Structure 1
Amino acid sequence: MQGWAADAPAERVISVDGSITEIVYALQQQHRLVGRDTTSTWPEVAQDLPDVGYMRQLSAEGILSLRPDLILVTADAQPQSVLDQLQQARVDIRVIPNAYTLAGVEDKIIQVADALGVREAGVLLASEVVERTTDLLAELQAQSDSPVKAIFVMNAHNSSMMVAGKGSRADAFMSLAGVINPFSDVINNFQNVSGEALMQANPDIIITLDEVAIPGSGIERLLSDPAVRRTEAGRSGKVVAIEARWLNFGPDLPNSLDSLVSRVKAMRSRGESQGDS
């Protein structure tokens, strides 16, 4: 979808998708932002901007009340009826592709920069992100450690767990980090799986979000699940909690990947040390 091009650079921009908001800040164009969606939590200062709602449940009224002259969204934005309504209101809407790959991040940065009229800065930023990520991936490939098998759990309830499969950001992120997801070839996106499927997957480590662990009993509740207790991860208590923004596939991708790799290594080393003692 493409809106009506403005004669002058947009000065009232709304960003819908955490990765786009990160890009706007990385391009030093945050002074043009007048709103952001709920997934836009980084940098933390972005949370001071008016929130137009969750990117898959947008409302035209809240967005139009901010009088934007440009709305940047990814293809994940919904519902389509709201996007159509915004376009009918003659607001310039740019839909940015959101492929969960390094090439996808590069393209996303450049397209956002183009929409903001700062292509040169976008090309430079994209080049830096690609170079840093490529260097990190080369280091990972050079390491002799055997791959870690891990699952990503979005939530758990009554012995049923929603886990990440092929096509999800979490699966793509783990793959880049060199982590094997046993559900990658079994399910698509996020789906609930049974305890039997969980035991069969038998992950070495469970990865989940910080907000799952924040209540204090979240990890304990996860590890107390009968099926989890019968996995290698459950027996050794290996759970890695990450920030949701790590899955944004934005300009902070190399730092996010490095953080995950470091936590997985620390968790693995802890288990090896315990085994040697």
Structure 2
Amino acid sequence: MTRWLWGLVLVLAALSVRAEVIVRDDRGTAIRLATPPQRVVTLLPSLTETVCALGFCERLIGTDRYSNWPASVAALPKFGGMDDTQVERLVALRPDVVLAARSTRAVERLESLGLHVVVLEPRSQAEAKRMVAAIATLMGRPAQGAVLWARIDQQVQHAAARVPVALRGQKVYFEVDSAPYAAGSTSFIGELLAQLGLGNIVPPALGPFPKLNPEFIVRAQPELVMAVERNLRDMPRRPGWATLKALQTGRTCAFEVGRYDMLVRPGPRLGEAAELIADCLQALP
């Protein structure tokens, strides 16, 4: 009986490798492949990270220039970014599928050359969850998407329990760019902050990642400020920003570049990002 069951497992595994896969991307386009792809190119860091977190890093044959996690992807060919994808080099590798952002300019060009392109660019956690599910389905292992997202949820819940009670409800200015662009309450970062019991100075009406008037931030007087280290160091020198009480009292979270990447990518490391924020909040004066 044991031998029969083991044989059945092997047959099912073989069938899953050969089975046709169909996924619907962020454009609403259904992409159909005769078998799960074995040669994959990703053109967005969150897509690269998701492929690897699901256990399919060995199928990657190239990424965008910004993908840097896990460390193993550093050795893969790099094909530029959203605005300057190196189409000819990419096509020459004959990938089975290309995973790209909606804002990647080369999508239509790649499709015109006969490549399968799946467009996924999450801006909210719900969209990130759909991305995980879509990639797991594409790879022929749909159940692994649910397992991965359950692990992320568990990490976020654990981090939320660690946030000091005195800080819950306090409003955050989370800077994603020194222009300044902020993570609004409807972005995946804003949603993560809310899950940790924190507020946001950016109202939903301004969208997920609005460019703010610096005076808006000064008037809002956020109780907590979070940003990449270099930007946070520069903030007191910005006109009027020295009056921000959060900067005066050290109620800030400065993230080094490598760790900050984890916070601003809507992918499988969202749970770790939540833990990183909780670590900072526990250490505040």
TM-score of the two chains, using structure 2 as the length reference = 0.76
- Distance in 2 between residues matched to 1:54 and 1:173, nearest whole Å: 26
Equivalent of residue 278 in structure 2, options 248, 252, 261: 261
**1:229 and 2:242 are equivalent in the alignment:** yes
Q: Secondary structure at the match of 1:94?
A: strand
Q: Which runs of 5+ in 2 are unaligned?
A: 1-26
Note the C-alpha offset of 1:4.
Answer: 6.2
- Distance in 1 between residues matched to 2:168 and 2:34, nearest whole Å: 56
- Distance in 1 between residues matched to 2:168 and 2:31, nearest whole Å: 52
Structure 2 vs 1, CA of residues 227 and 65 (structure 1 numbering), >3 Å: closer, same or farther? Answer: farther
- Distance in 2 between residues matched to 1:122 and 1:146, nearest whole Å: 31
- Name 2:173's counterpart in structure 1: 151
- Name 2:194's counterpart in structure 1: 175
- Distance in 2 between residues matched to 1:23 and 1:154, nearest whole Å: 21
Q: How much is the aligned-residue C-alpha RMSD, in angstroms?
A: 2.8
Note the C-alpha offset of 1:225.
Answer: 2.4
Note the C-alpha offset of 1:166.
Answer: 4.7
In percent, how many aligned pairs have the same letter?
A: 20
- Distance in 2 between residues matched to 1:205 and 1:141, nearest whole Å: 13
**1:35 and 2:58 are equivalent in the alignment:** no
- Distance in 1 between residues matched to 2:166 and 2:210, nearest whole Å: 33
Note the C-alpha offset of 1:234.
Answer: 2.3
Note the C-alpha offset of 1:178.
Answer: 2.6
Structure 2 vs 1, CA of residues 191 and 120 (structure 1 numbering), >3 Å: closer, same or farther? Answer: closer
- Distance in 1 between residues matched to 2:236 and 2:182, nearest whole Å: 15
- Distance in 1 between residues matched to 2:144 and 2:181, nearest whole Å: 39
For residues 102-141 of structure 1, what are the alpha-carbon distances to aligned partners after superposition, in whole Å with 9 as ceiling and x for unaligned? x44333222101111122333332333334434544x369
Structure 2 vs 1, CA of residues 241 and 65 (structure 1 numbering), >3 Å: closer, same or farther? Answer: farther
Q: Secondary structure at the match of 2:34?
A: coil
Matches within 5 A, 1:88-107: 88-96=112-120, 98-101=122-125, 103-107=126-130
Q: Which runs of 5+ in 1 are unaligned?
A: 271-277
- Distance in 1 between residues matched to 2:31 and 2:237, nearest whole Å: 55
Note the C-alpha offset of 1:199.
Answer: 1.7
TM-score of the two chains, using structure 1 as the length reference = 0.78
- Name 1:275's counterpart in structure 2: none
**1:69 and 2:96 are equivalent in the alignment:** yes
**1:78 and 2:104 are equivalent in the alignment:** yes
- Name 2:133's counterpart in structure 1: 110
**1:119 and 2:142 are equivalent in the alignment:** yes
- Name 1:274's counterpart in structure 2: none
